[in-house]
Structure 1
Amino acid sequence: MKKLLLPLLIVAALAIAAYWYVFHKPHRDLIHENAAFSLSATHLMNDFQKDRSLADSLYIDQIISLKGVVKELQEAALILEPGIYGSLDSTASMPALKVGDSVQIRGRVLSYDELFEEVKLDFVQFENQ
């Protein structure tokens, strides 16, 4: 019985440590995280259209800063030319924009949708607005 007690205590301690590490690590602060890339909306779209796998490895799940022209406005989202769809962060508010205005935004790249030829972003916030 004494031979089993020490290994059981070690296994229990490792299990507790693994649980604590997995479920109690801090979350990413996407709002205050620095942008990994700063580029134009056209440049981002060209990168995805030229080499999808390279663009995926560079941009997916990264915070980027984009400059572009507003193509369409929605209640909690916007589309920049040539096809960058960004859904606003829940704490961000839509400034008074019109179609054709030039904006600078930052957000996390989620994916490239080949069907609609759109790059999708979330947690979008407006810079310098």
Structure 2
Amino acid sequence: MNKRRIMILLFLLVISFGPYYIYQNVLYKDARDITGEKSTVTITAENLEKEYASGAALADSKYLNKTIEITGKVSEVTDSTMVIDGKAFCKMNERTKINLKNKQINIKGRCIGFDDLFEVVKLDQCSIQQH
């Protein structure tokens, strides 16, 4: 009787953790490495914001979840974010150690959409390409 209980318990454990194992090792993909990807387009922050303001659905089809490069002048800087031309909010991969405010810059990141409240395009996983 004791062996039977152990077998049932072992069977229940396999059933419980089987879907989790399949999800983690088969279905779940590693996060994208944006710094290693080639950008699909280079655009100014101002033009990117204009496209989103004129038609978010069309702009989403072009830019959403794609690796893009934006160019413009840095208007705000914190240790982990930058705002380019007041039009694009960039969440940086690394802390910014140098003062780049009011300097022309080229940043690569993943476009995550348009923020209607602040009227800025948001990018994450950003890295500085050129300044």
Give the TM-score taking structure 2 as reference length: 0.75
Q: Equivalents in 2 of 1:98, 1:65: separation in Å? A: 17
* CA distance 1:113–1:26, change in 2 (3 Å): closer
Q: What is the SS of the residue equivalent to 2:130?
A: coil
* Counterpart position of 1:47: 51
* CA distance 1:26–1:100, change in 2 (3 Å): closer
* Counterpart position of 1:120: 122
- Cα deviation, residue 29, structure 1: 2.3
* CA distance 1:88–1:27, change in 2 (3 Å): closer
Q: Equivalents in 2 of 1:47, 1:76: separation in Å? A: 26
Give per-residue Cα distances to partners, 1:7-56, cap 9 Å, x unaligned: xxxxxxxx99xx35313x45422220110111111110111011110001
* Counterpart position of 2:86: 82
- Cα deviation, residue 95, structure 1: 4.7
* Counterpart position of 1:11: none
Give the TM-score taking structure 1 as reference length: 0.76
1:56 to 2:67 alignment: no
Aligned-pair RMSD on alpha carbons?
A: 2.2
1:97 to 2:99 alignment: yes
Larger displacement relative to structure 2 (37-46 or 95-104):
95-104
Q: Equivalents in 2 of 1:112, 1:67: separation in Å? A: 17
- Cα deviation, residue 64, structure 1: 0.5
**Structure with the largest fraction of helix:** 2
* CA distance 1:95–1:67, change in 2 (3 Å): farther
- Cα deviation, residue 76, structure 1: 0.8
Q: Equivalents in 2 of 1:97, 1:50: separation in Å? A: 33
- Could you tell me which runs of 5 or more consecutive residues in structure 1 were left unpaired when the two chains were aligned: 1-14
* CA distance 1:29–1:98, change in 2 (3 Å): closer
Contact in 2 for aligned 1:45/1:82 (Cα 8 Å)? no
* Counterpart position of 1:10: none
